[in-house]
């Protein structure tokens, strides 16, 4: 069903543009729509198709929205796509248009796969098609296709304007569906069994040969011109305190290593085995599995495997044939490779609530090194990993590092911890990973100190620890509307102060400011009978300037309490180490939260999954004027054999390297940023990590522990010139 082919020379009235321009152009014997996405000066640029009413596509059966897209430029274009129905439900996908390419892309709107929960973030394509399917990101896969409001295409966080040519916008139906698209997906090495790709391993001999070639080229010491900690030994030497610290030098914030050399933190986060396991589809008789108290740890937990307790093998059963049928091979429990089984008692999202797991990555380490002893295997893995970091020119690890690296005294790292416990919580209305803590609950402070004490026990005062991250990507709020920016306060105001310590604080603040409830009523334009009524719970839906100002005051008060307590806890047990903040997600922070972090954190941390850092989003860094760091970024491609590139799409492994360099150079050139960490070291499992199904090609190494050469070579080039680019010839 053709929607638009632009042959009449006119732009359709349904076309809407945001920070973009469009024109119909002659192309060959026909016409097409040329779109310029003005990204250099805008964080987001978009074009969308929006009818005056809604589209009714319910008669199409199984179908997809499709279009031809050409890209004549030398850079790939990562497009986000969002379909919305009349009930406000959104289905989000994304895809990459390779440089100098032309192809057809489709967005599956209705089909049997959309109703299947596989436990994989994005499934293998079920359509038998020569076209490229768009990758699922988030949202409701089951839209009301009888009333579709819009289809939007956008770019965000890119460093240059993007150009695409669109033609033949249409609805298509599958010629056929692959009923076996989820069966025998994974081979014995954890790779895609249905695709060929560069560096795919076919035998144990190939695996070991690749390892031997690499090991012969690795170095044991930092690059020439680096201090023992990786600082700039050829640059100025400042005061060395024996620990990492910050200082502003010639208008640029910098880390300073323990010996006094300027230090920029470039490295890889999540160097651990905790996220290498995937759900197998098997389970056990839960009556035989003892419950575990919060905080209990086992030796297996340190390996990230969370091994199932010793239960009789006959109690093992298939809990999900859909998952179990994905694997062509799993070992027996009594085989040496059976050590790589584990167990997850609960998941964040997935096809089943709990179950057996298996780490193909750890099994491949065991295979290629021929080491079955757990301790010796992990020692070998850590040794090779540090050799790689030094050889690739990195200066530190990032967050989420196996504590086994902490006392190696070879490579700087960041420690981390979560504040968990039964303290009270508040909600921003999002709560993607979990509700927010109530920092005015005394139990929160108690748990913060317990967390800091545990981190300190692991670090043991090591000068190789750059700093400490505590918590991660909390849903503090999001700019864009009053409701999202101040959701934490708005939701907490509905609660009873007797049950919520934070609400009690909000009552106190407003009562101290206004005294008489009628003064608050006049300022806010509301009618509340008494402070007791205010304390028992109120609902706000009208927001004048006075209300917004007070919401900001309350949010700032909340944030100050959180960051003050965490800083005090870290400094109590680790006075010589820097507190690195809570790693804000760009979708989960507000000016008030950032300001509070800047007041208490030695370095403010952000996770930012875009193509680079530019002032059209990061203008607040100048306003805060605090040393800041990127805790996570990445990109990936489909030529790895995996099913999902990651949060940022590249067109190939070569393009991954290009995008890596562009991102890192934008960070190095920013005077407020003191480092950036790639997430993560190892590709996600093909069938999704056990916790939430992430199945991304975002590793520097594959499931077989083979490095991606284009990405490594790009990192080497960036890192070699790191300090000269950052500090010049000072």
Q: How wide is the angle at C-alpha 537 spanned by C-alphas 532 and 538, nearest 5°?
A: 105
What H or E segment, with its residue span, contains residue 579?
A: strand 578-579
How does residue 299 score in pLDDT terms, banded at 50, 70 and 90? very low
Q: Give residue 696's pLDDT.
A: 97
pLDDT at 287: 53
**Distance between CA 2 and CA 635 in Å, rounded?**
34
Domain-terminating residue out of 172, 195, 220: 172
The pLDDT assigned to 285 comes to 84
Report how far residue 419's alpha carbon sits from residue 475's, in angstroms, rounded to the nearest whole number.
Answer: 15
Q: Which residues are bridge partners to 356 per DSSP?
A: 343
Domain boundary among the residues 121, 139, 172 is at 172
Distance of CA 122 to the CA centre of its chain: 15
Does residue 539 fall inside a structural domain?
Answer: no
Q: Is residue 229 part of a domain?
A: no
Reading the block at residue 712, the tokens are 């490594």
> Domain ends where: 124, 146, 172?
172
Residue 396 lies inside a defined structural domain of this protein? yes
DSSP assignment letter at 115: G
Mean of pLDDT values over 85-107: 97
**Does residue 533 form part of some domain?**
no
Rounded to 10 degrees, what is the CA torsion of 583, 585, 586, 589? Answer: -80
CA distance 356 to 274: 14
Is residue 408 pLDDT above 80, yes or no?
A: yes
Q: What is the structure's pLDDT at 199? A: 93
pLDDT in tens, 438-496: 999 999 999 999 999 999 999 999 999 999 999 999 999 999 999 999 999 999 999 99
What's 615's domain CATH number? 3.20.20.80
Per the CB < 8 A criterion, the answer to whether 150 and 48 are in contact is: yes
* CATH of residue 16: 2.60.120.430
Region 78-85: what's the mean pLDDT? 98
Confidence of residue 730 (pLDDT cuts 50, 70, 90): low
Contacts of 494 (CB under 8 A, 6+ apart): 537, 538, 539
Distance in angstroms (rounded) separating the CA atoms of residues 456 and 655: 40
- Total structural domains within the chain: 2
| DSSP calls for 255-285 | EE-TTSBEE-EEEEE--SSTT-EEE-SEE--
- pLDDT for 413-447, tens place per residue? 999 999 999 999 999 988 878 899 999 999 999 99
Query: Is 296 a residue whose pLDDT tops 50?
Result: no
With H, G, I as helix, E, B as strand and everything else as coil, classify residue 427: coil
pLDDT band at 728 (very low <50, low <70, confident <90, very high): confident
Span 70-98, mean pLDDT? 97
Domain-located, residue 660? yes
Asked if residues 489 and 549 have their Cβ atoms less than 8 Å apart, the reply is: no
Q: Give residue 434's pLDDT.
A: 85
Q: Strand 44-49 to strand 436-437: parallel, antiparallel, or no bridges (unpaired)? A: unpaired
Q: Looking at residue 430, what is its pLDDT?
A: 86
**pLDDT more than 70, % of the chain:** 96
Whether residue 313 is predicted with pLDDT greater than 80 in this model: the reply is no
Residue 164: which domain range?
2-172
* Residue 262 scores a pLDDT above 60: yes
pLDDT recorded at residue 240: 97
609: pLDDT strictly greater than 90: yes
Whether 671 shows a pLDDT value over 90: the answer reads yes
Residue 432 lies in a domain: yes
Highest mean pLDDT among 14-23, 299-308, 350-359: 14-23
Q: Are strands 245-249 and 30-37 parallel, antiparallel or unpaired?
A: unpaired
At a CB cut-off of 8 Å and minimum separation 6, what does 291 contact? none
Is residue 565 in some structural domain? yes
The average pLDDT across 145-171 equals 97
CA 182, chain centre distance (Å): 26
307 within a domain of the structure (yes/no): no
Q: Is the pLDDT of residue 301 over 50?
A: no
Is the model's pLDDT at 306 over the cut of 60?
no
> Span 283-293, mean pLDDT?
62
Looking at residues 580-587, what average pLDDT do you find?
95
pLDDT digits (tens, 9 = 90+) for 106-143: 999 999 999 999 999 999 999 999 999 999 999 999 99
**What is the residue-averaged pLDDT of the chain?**
94
């Amino acid at each position: 069903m053709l929607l638009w082919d632009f042959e009449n020379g006119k732009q359709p009235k349904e076309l809407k543009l945001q920070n973009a321009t469009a024109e119909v152009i002659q192309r060959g014997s026909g016409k097409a729509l040329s779109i310029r996405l003005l990204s250099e000066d805008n964080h987001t640029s978009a074009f969308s198709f929006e009818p005056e009413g809604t589209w009714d596509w319910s008669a199409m059966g199984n179908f997809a929205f499709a279009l031809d897209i050409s890209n004549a430029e030398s850079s790939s274009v990562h497009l986000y796509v969002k379909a919305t129905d009349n009930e406000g439900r959104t289905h989000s996908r994304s895809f990459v248009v390779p440089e100098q390419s032309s192809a057809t892309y489709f967005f599956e709107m209705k089909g049997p796969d959309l109703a299947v929960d596989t436990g994989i973030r994005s499934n293998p394509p079920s359509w038998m098609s020569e076209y490229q399917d768009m990758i699922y990101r988030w949202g409701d896969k089951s839209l009301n296709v009888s009333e579709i409001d819009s289809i939007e295409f956008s770019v965000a966080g890119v460093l240059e304007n993007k150009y695409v040519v669109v033609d033949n916008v249409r609805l298509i139906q599958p010629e056929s569906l692959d009923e076996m698209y989820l069966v025998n997906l994974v081979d014995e090495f954890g790779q895609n069994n249905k695709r060929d790709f560069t560096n795919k391993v076919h035998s144990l001999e190939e695996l070991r040969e690749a390892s031997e070639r690499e090991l012969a080229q690795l170095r044991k010491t930092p690059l020439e011109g680096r201090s023992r900690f990786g600082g700039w030994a050829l640059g100025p030497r400042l005061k060395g305190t024996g620990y990492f610290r910050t200082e502003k030098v010639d208008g640029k914030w910098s880390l300073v290593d323990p010996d006094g050399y300027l230090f920029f933190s470039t490295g890889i986060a999540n160097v651990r085995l905790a996220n290498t396991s995937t759900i197998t589809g098997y389970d056990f008789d839960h009556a035989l599995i003892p419950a575990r108290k919060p905080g209990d740890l086992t030796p297996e937990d340190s390996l990230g495997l969370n091994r199932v307790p010793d239960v009789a093998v006959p109690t093992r059963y298939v809990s999900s044939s859909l998952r179990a049928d994905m694997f062509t091979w799993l070992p027996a429990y009594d085989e040496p490779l059976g050590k790589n089984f584990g167990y997850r008692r609960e998941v964040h999202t997935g096809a089943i609530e709990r179950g057996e797991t298996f780490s193909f990555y750890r099994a491949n380490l065991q295979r290629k090194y021929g080491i079955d002893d757990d301790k010796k295997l992990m020692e070998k893995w850590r040794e090779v990993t540090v050799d790689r970091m030094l050889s690739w020119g990195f200066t530190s690890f990032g967050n989420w590092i196996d504590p086994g690296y902490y006392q190696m005294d070879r490579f700087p790292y960041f420690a981390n911890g979560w504040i968990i416990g039964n303290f009270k919580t508040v909600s921003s209305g999002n709560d993607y990973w979990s509700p927010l803590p109530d920092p005015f609950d005394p139990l929160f402070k108690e748990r913060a100190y317990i967390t800091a004490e545990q981190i300190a026990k692991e670090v043991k005062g090591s000068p190789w620890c750059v700093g400490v991250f505590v918590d991660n990507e909390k849903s503090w709020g999001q700019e864009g509307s009053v409701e999202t920016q101040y959701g934490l306060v708005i939701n907490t105001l509905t609660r009873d102060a007797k049950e919520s310590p934070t609400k009690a604080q909000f009552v106190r603040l407003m009562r101290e400011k206004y005294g008489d409830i009628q003064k608050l009523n006049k300022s806010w334009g509301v009618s509340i009978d008494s402070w007791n009524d205010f304390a028992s719970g109120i609902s706000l839906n009208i927001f004048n300037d006075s209300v917004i100002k007070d919401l900001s005051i309350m949010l700032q008060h909340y944030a100050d309490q959180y960051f003050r307590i965490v800083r005090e806890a870290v400094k109590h047990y680790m006075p010589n180490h820097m507190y690195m903040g809570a790693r804000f997600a760009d979708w989960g922070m507000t000016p008030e939260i950032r300001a509070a972090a800047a007041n208490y954190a030695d370095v403010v941390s952000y996770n930012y999954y875009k193509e680079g850092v530019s002032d059209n989003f990061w203008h607040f860094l100048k306003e805060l004027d605090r040393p800041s760091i990127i805790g996570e970024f990445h990109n990936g491609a489909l030529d790895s054999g995996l099913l999902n590139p990651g949060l940022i799409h590249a067109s190939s492994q070569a393009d991954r390297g290009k995008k890596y360099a562009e991102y890192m150079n934008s960070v190095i050139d920013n005077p407020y940023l003191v480092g950036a960490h790639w997430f993560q070291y190892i590709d996600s499992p093909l069938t999704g990590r056990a916790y939430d199904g992430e199945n991304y090609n975002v590793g520097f190494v594959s499931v077989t522990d083979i490095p991606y050469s284009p990405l490594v070579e790009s990192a080497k080039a960036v890192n070699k010139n790191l300090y000269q680019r950052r500090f010049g010839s000072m």
